[in-house]
Each structure stands twice: as structure tokens, then as C-alpha cells.
Amino acid sequence: MASTTEAIAYRSARQVPRRRAEHVMRQGVVVGLIGAAVAMLLFLLVDLAAGVPLRTPALLGNALFYGLSGGASDAREAAITTKVVLGYTAVHVAGFVLFGLAVSGLFAIAEREKRVLALIFMLGCCLAAAFVMMVYGLSQWVRDAMTPWVFLAGHALAGAAVVIALFYFHRRLLGEFPTSAE
């Protein structure tokens, strides 16, 4: 029969991976929410400056849920409804949280194996290129109703906020980044 000390050590050793996974998940959700909040805040400020609050999420929600403009003949006539704005916001936040979870998991792996940092950098470059293409496609889809530079700037700032948050949580990796490809 195992002694009390051995049983406690076994139980705590079993709980370490679970606590680490919970920490990574919590961190991923926080990072995703930070990114989503930065992008949504910029969109709100631009919409308020234009005098049409919530225009960007309504326009993108109509494009996402109803095709080009939700039945309107022009994307500029797309209706700003609670259903569309909340629906798009939920999709937007969920996308950022999923991205945050994935990147947080990669950073957790990089804590143990620094060569993964080079992979994260290459993956980030590929995602940035794919994102620019997506912005171009989206700008063609909603025509001139939305400035693609606002969309691009909002998500570039959100991406920067995500990277800053991840390096805040993983300070040690910032120093190892230059030598990670060795």
C-alpha cells in the first residue's frame, strides 16, 4: 500500500498537466478577447466619427449572413439591426477566441521547445498574407461601402495587441526569439 506522501505526490503530478491546459485555455480566451475588443473598438470609433454607429458590424453581418447586403440593392443601404450586429459580434469574438486558443497553445509548446518560435513566426507571416488577401476579397464583396483600410488597420492593431499580450504572458520567449531558428 502506498504511503500518504506517495499518494499526494502522485495526485499532484497527475493534476499538473490539467492545470497547465486550463492555464493555456484561460490565456487563449483572454488573448482572443483582447484582440476582438481592439478591432471592435476601432470599428466603433470610425463608425461614430462617420455618424453611423455600428455600421461596420452591421455591414459585415449582412454580408456574412445574407450575402452581399441582406437584400438591399446597395451595401450602403444595409440595415443596422440588433440581430445582425449581435450575430456578427458573436462570430467575430468566437473567431478571435479560437485564434487566441490556437496561438496560446503554440506559445505553450514554445515554452518547452524554442524552435517552435520560428514556426510561429512563419505561420504568422502566412496568416498575415492570407488576411491581406481576405481583406481585398471582402472589399470587393461589399464594394465601396466600407473602406478596406479601416478593416485592415483594425485587425492589424488587434493582431499587435494579441502579440503583445502573448509576449506579456510569455516574457522569457521574447529574449529567445532572435535565436529560435538555430
pLDDT (0 to 100) of residue 71:
45
Please check the confidence at residue 107 and state whether its pLDDT lies above 70: yes
Model's pTM, two decimal places?
0.78
Q: Is residue 108 in a domain?
A: yes
Residue type (1 letter), 128: A
Please report whether residue 104 resides in a domain.
Answer: yes
Note whether residue 131 is domain-resident: yes
The span from the first CA to the last CA of the chain, in angstroms, equals 49
User: In this structure, is residue 13 part of a structural domain?
Assistant: no
Residue 4 domain flag:
no
Number of domains in the chain: 1
Is residue 6 one of the residues assigned to a domain? no
Min mean pLDDT across 24-28, 41-45, 139-143, 174-178 is at 139-143
Residue 121 confidence (pLDDT): 83
In angstroms, the Cα distances linking 44 to 26, 31, 40, 93 are 26, 20, 6, 15
Helix (H) or strand (E) holding 109: helix 82-112
Does residue 11 belong to any structural domain of this protein? no
* Segment 58-95, tens digit of pLDDT: 888 888 888 754 444 555 567 789 999 999 999 999 99
Residue-number span of the structural domain to which 52 is assigned: 22-179
Any domain includes 36: yes
